[in-house]
Amino acid sequence: MNSKQHALSHEQEIILKLVESKYSLFLTGQGGCGKSYLIKKIVEKESARGCCFVTASTGIAAVNISGTTIHAFAGINTGTKSSHELLGTVISNEEAVKRWNDCRILVIDEISMIGAALFEKLDYVARGIRGNSQPFGGIQLLLSGDFVQLKPVSTEGCEKQDYCFKSTLWNKCVDFSLVLTKIFRQNEQELRHLLQDVRNGCISVMSRNLIHYLSRDLKCDPLDKVRLFPLREDAKLANDECIELIPGEKFVYRSQDDGKVSVFERRCSAVSVLVLKVGARVVLLKNLDKSLVNGLRGTVIGISDGYPR
């Protein structure tokens, strides 16, 4: 969404009324349809009526809606333990217990990245903490995301995660699934059609022609280009090339690892040898606190006593 305020569309008004009527909802739609904007409007209105907790499946998504990760809210750490073990972990966390008991509405954005197993664990914890046998202990849910865009995250060595809507719990929790169709972010009709085609994985002749028409060499700073790679090795090569383009002294940081290093390196997205210079672009790979989250980007502005800032 752009920063401009706009009146809610007719379909957004309907959703707002359903939330006010205490229905649990799943909101979806292609990028630019106003999901995040609508969530913010709902939270503004509902927070005055009681405790509304805003969460997302990832740190960067949580920042976008001024919330926290669902893991942090729930007090479940990584959420990889069994349901029974997670309940024990949460019971020992007074703040997490209070959040669960105070919660009237729970918002979970980017719900598509939460697998069926984790969804069921959250339900188990909610019912156990609240002493309520209803789905999620009677909490009203507002789930948002696009299952076409992002799939559940699978940990290496674990079974592939099913989408949470494949869980038998889904239909017990969700009263209505609603698709937002009005697009606010893109004004050009051709661009809308192109993005919809890419989303659906089926490119029309019109969209293909538009891509060819727009394809050209662009003169820009190589460091300002955003490039996507399927493999980490390819991304590392590109990053190494960019570091060489930056003038100044190199600072090399080597990881100190214990245990099965080869397994750790396969599962860890951080490189074992990090080379930095003043002016290097960096990205955070782990949530540190509510403001410093996984996916946040920055620039090294100085290095003193061997430490970047």
pTM: 0.81
How do 25-28 and 176-179 pair as beta strands? Answer: parallel
Q: Is 240 exposed, middle or buried (0-12, 13-18, 19+ CB in 10 A)?
A: exposed
pLDDT confidence of residue 262: 67
Joined together, the tokens standing for residue 97 give 């217990």
Q: In Å, how far are 4, 145, 167 from 164, measured between CA atoms?
A: 33, 12, 5
Phi, psi of 287 (to 5 degrees): -70, 125
- Say if CB 66 and CB 293 are below 8 A apart: no
Domains (ranges, CATH) in the chain?
Answer: 10-180 (3.40.50.300), 187-216 (no CATH), 232-308 (no CATH)
pLDDT confidence of residue 2: 43
Q: Is 52 exposed, middle or buried (0-12, 13-18, 19+ CB in 10 A)?
A: buried
Q: What is the largest CA-CA distance in the chain?
A: 62
Angle CA 17–18–22, to nearest 5 = 115
pLDDT confidence of residue 267: 67
List the chain pLDDT tens, one digit each, 309 residues. 444 556 788 888 999 999 999 999 999 987 777 788 888 888 888 887 778 999 999 888 888 888 899 999 999 998 999 999 999 999 999 999 999 999 999 999 999 999 999 999 999 999 999 999 999 999 999 999 989 887 887 655 455 789 999 999 999 999 999 998 877 665 677 887 888 888 888 889 998 998 888 888 877 777 777 788 888 889 889 889 999 999 999 999 988 877 776 666 666 778 888 899 999 999 888 877 777 878 888 899 999 887 887
DSSP string, 193-251: HHHHHHHHT---HHHHHHHHHH-------GGG-----SSHHHHHHHHHHHHHHS-S--E
d(CA 235, CA 41): 38
Residue 118: CB atoms within 10 A of its CB come to: 25
